[in-house]
């Protein structure tokens, strides 16, 4: 099943060398998102990988704005976990927690996620995988 799923997913990802800048190999996931069978196969593969590498030690799946929102909720559902939105600072209402980050092209910014005990009580201790640019940046 895993080999079939890998082939199904691989056929739906297009590569564009030197985009958006020379030296970057951009992976376009649009065809994957348009094909329900390929998308389900991708989620199964990711879930299987996380179960193998992290076992039952994942509290939540966190997804970065915006590609993480495409895969994160489905992956969380497949694993029977909750999903946490991570967005650019100031884009979520209510109390939030934030952290600095650096982009692969050298820009720096801040990310925020829901904060407060009623939102995600264990968030400061989490070491769960974060779904985001995993296909486009490797």
- What are the tokens at 98? 């934030």
Could you read off the pLDDT of 16-26 as tens digits, one per residue?
Answer: 999 999 999 99
CA 15/CA 135 separation, integer angstroms: 10
Chain centre distance of CA 41: 15
Sequence-distant (6+) residues with CB within 8 A of 5 are 41, 42, 44, 45
Q: For 55-99, where are the alpha helices, taking DSSP H only?
A: 67-79
- Given a cut of 50, whether residue 127 has pLDDT beyond it is no
Domain boundaries, the chain: 1-57
- What are the tokens at 72? 């994160």
The reply to whether the predicted model has a pTM over 0.95 is no
Mean pLDDT over all residues of the chain? 79
Catalytic residue ranges: 67, 104
Could you read off the pLDDT of 66-118 as tens digits, one per residue?
Answer: 788 899 999 999 999 998 888 777 777 777 777 666 666 566 566 665 665 44
């Amino acid at each position: 099943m895993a080999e079939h799923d890998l082939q199904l997913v691989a056929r739906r990802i297009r590569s564009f060398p030197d985009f958006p800048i020379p030296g970057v190999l951009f992976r376009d996931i649009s065809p994957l998102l348009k094909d329900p069978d390929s998308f389900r196969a991708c989620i199964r593969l990711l879930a299987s990988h996380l179960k193998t590498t992290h076992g039952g030690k994942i509290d939540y799946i966190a997804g970065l704005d915006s590609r993480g929102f495409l895969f994160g909720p489905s992956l969380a559902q497949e694993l029977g976990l909750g999903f946490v939105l991570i967005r650019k600072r100031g884009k979520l209402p209510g109390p939030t927690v934030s952290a600095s980050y650096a982009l692969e092209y050298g820009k720096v910014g801040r990310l925020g996620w829901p904060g407060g005990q009623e939102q995600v009580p264990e968030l400061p201790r989490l070491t769960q995988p974060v779904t985001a640019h995993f296909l486009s940046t490797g």
